[in-house]
Structure 1
Amino acid sequence: MSNGLYLYGIFPAPGPQGLALEGLDKQPVFNQAIDGFVFLYSEAQQERYLASRKNLLGHERVLEQAMQAGYQTLLPLQFGLIIQDWDTVAQQLTIPHGERMKQLFDRLDGQREVSIKLFWTQDVELQMLLNENQDLKAKRDSLEGKTLSMDEVVLIGQAIERAMESRKQAIINAFRETLNALATEVVENDTLTESMIYNAAYLIPWDAELEFSRHVEALDRDFDGRLKIRYNNLTAPYNFARLERLGQ
């Protein structure tokens, strides 16, 4: 019994041509045209795919290879989507949401998504803060070897917390002020770990990536090794073409 068809993404017709792409479970990737849209798919070998690193990267690789081959405008589908027949796709997606999908293609034409994730080492930043603020350092040091009231402990802790938050916001604002002006659209996402202080995606003109990356490098130099910057310069535009927003 067939496990169905695994879907990767949607392209404007005629879609990717002549590409030998390998999908999940090393299956060949094919095109299917429906109502002026072209879906990339492969034969599903499992009823359900676990969101393992290997599978997630395999899904991403199909879309990135198509983009690198010149098929730059696409609507990426979320990982794990398996269908049993194309009629369902037509009835649930291309027929009711076709106009909105075309609008998304128009918006994404000539654009690419890049992303920034900023990480800091909190202990190092705290020590830098205290070195730069001797009054705060003296208050923090007063916690050691003395009997303080709970109110005093809380007040000192709050002062340090506010100062660290201000320090973090100054970093974030520097990136916003430099990079947001280069982007057509910006989406700020939740931070994923305690050490991650900023997580943003940018929609930029396809040929503006070199300039954008130079600004990222300049910001890295400005902060002189204080930050770990994870910059992704090629990714499917998940933040700007989310299919769950269609029809809203």
Structure 2
Amino acid sequence: MAFYLYALLPETVRPWLGEPLTGLDGAPVHLQSLAPFLVAYSEAKQTRYLASRANLLGHEKVLETLMQRLEPHRVVPLPLQFGLVVEDWESPCQELIEGRKDGLLAALARLAGKREVGVKILWNREEELQRLLAANAPLQQQRNALMGKILTVEEAIAVGQVLEAALEERQQEIIDRFLAVLQPLSHEMVTGELLTETMLYNGAFLIDLEKEPAFAEAVEQLDVEFGRQYRIRYNNYTAPYNFVSLAEP
């Protein structure tokens, strides 16, 4: 029998988890003791799990349910990467725990009473460029002077560089404003990769559970401050992937 792993938990949480959870392939989620931890797992019906939408959502659902049930006790599970399947309990004990038990216990203590939230800002670069031109007369005049003119390769590159630099400067201004407001409300933050051309910013913040309403309100006020010109995706409930590292010691 193979096992699909979801998260590491402290041994003390067993009485708090309540009714059984359902994991991938409809299999019930169980707890395996790997002292001083518990591993949340279900029986693996496949040797390899594709990162399909259904599988990813199923994995996240287990983590979210664990978080919800443990939140009153201010315990946060340490999430394991998607698709982790093991054939026995000896290998995860060696690979996950041996040599870094103290680090994992410290991570559980550091995350206690906290939550990861995510902020993504999306924009339309062409619309933003038009706003920049409207607010910057010299830049607009420079661009207008070249409209209808056959440009050399060097001139075209130079114009493109000027406009791109203006967009990059504006992007950094927006990011700086968001961070000036949101960073003081968090313990830690991580800047993520920009996943699309329309993504202006992608960040994760580790905040106190009780500060989430204030953080959400701050995001809303920033949206208002910028005239709702940008699309803001705020995820207020996610496993703390960005603040846990289970890499080899």
Give your verdict on TM over 0.5: yes
- The one-letter code sitting in structure 2 at the alignment partner of 1:216 is V
- Which residues of 2 match residues 71-150 of structure 1 at below 5 A? 71=71, 72-150=75-153
Corresponding residue for residue 32 of structure 1: 32
Corresponding residue for residue 178 of structure 1: 181
How far residue 19 of structure 1 moved from its aligned partner, in angstroms, is 2.8
* Residue-pair matches, total: 244
Deviations 1:98-144 (A, max 9, x none): 11100111111111111111100111101111111122122222332
How far residue 195 of structure 1 moved from its aligned partner, in angstroms, is 0.5
- Secondary structure of the residue aligned to 1:176 is helix
- Secondary structure of the residue aligned to 2:242 is coil
- Secondary structure of the residue aligned to 1:166 is helix
Corresponding residue for residue 63 of structure 2: 63
Q: Aligned partners of 1:143 and 1:64: how far apart in 2? A: 55
Do the aligned residues in 2 keep the contact of 1:32 with 1:40 (CA within 8 Å)?
yes
Q: What TM-score do you get using the length of structure 2 for normalisation?
A: 0.94
- Which residues of 2 match residues 147-158 of structure 1 at below 5 A? 147-158=150-161
Structure 1 residues 43 and 153, CA gap change in structure 2 (3 angstroms) = same
- The one-letter code sitting in structure 2 at the alignment partner of 1:177 is A
- The one-letter code sitting in structure 1 at the alignment partner of 2:70 is G
Deviations 1:66-122 (A, max 9, x none): 111225411100000001111112222222221110011111111111111110011
User: Can you give the 5+ residue segments of structure 2 that lack an aligned partner in the other structure?
Assistant: none
Deviations 1:136-179 (A, max 9, x none): 12222233222333333322221111111111111000111000
Deviations 1:31-58 (A, max 9, x none): 1111110111000011100001110111
Q: Aligned partners of 2:70 and 2:149: how far apart in 1? A: 67
Q: What TM-score do you get using the length of structure 1 for normalisation?
A: 0.94
Answer with 14-23 or 101-110: which moved more.
Answer: 14-23
- Secondary structure of the residue aligned to 2:243 is coil
Corresponding residue for residue 207 of structure 2: 204
Corresponding residue for residue 23 of structure 1: 23
User: Can you give the 5+ residue segments of structure 1 that lack an aligned partner in the other structure?
Assistant: none
Do the aligned residues in 2 keep the contact of 1:23 with 1:62 (CA within 8 Å)?
yes
- Secondary structure of the residue aligned to 1:239 is helix
Corresponding residue for residue 167 of structure 2: 164
- Secondary structure of the residue aligned to 1:230 is strand
- After superposition, the CA RMSD in angstroms is 1.3
Corresponding residue for residue 6 of structure 1: 4
State percent identity of aligned pairs. Answer: 45
Report runs of 4+ in structure 1 exceeding 6 Å deviation: none
- Which residues of 2 match residues 42-61 of structure 1 at below 5 A? 42-61=42-61
Structure 1 residues 24 and 147, CA gap change in structure 2 (3 angstroms) = same
How far residue 226 of structure 1 moved from its aligned partner, in angstroms, is 1.1
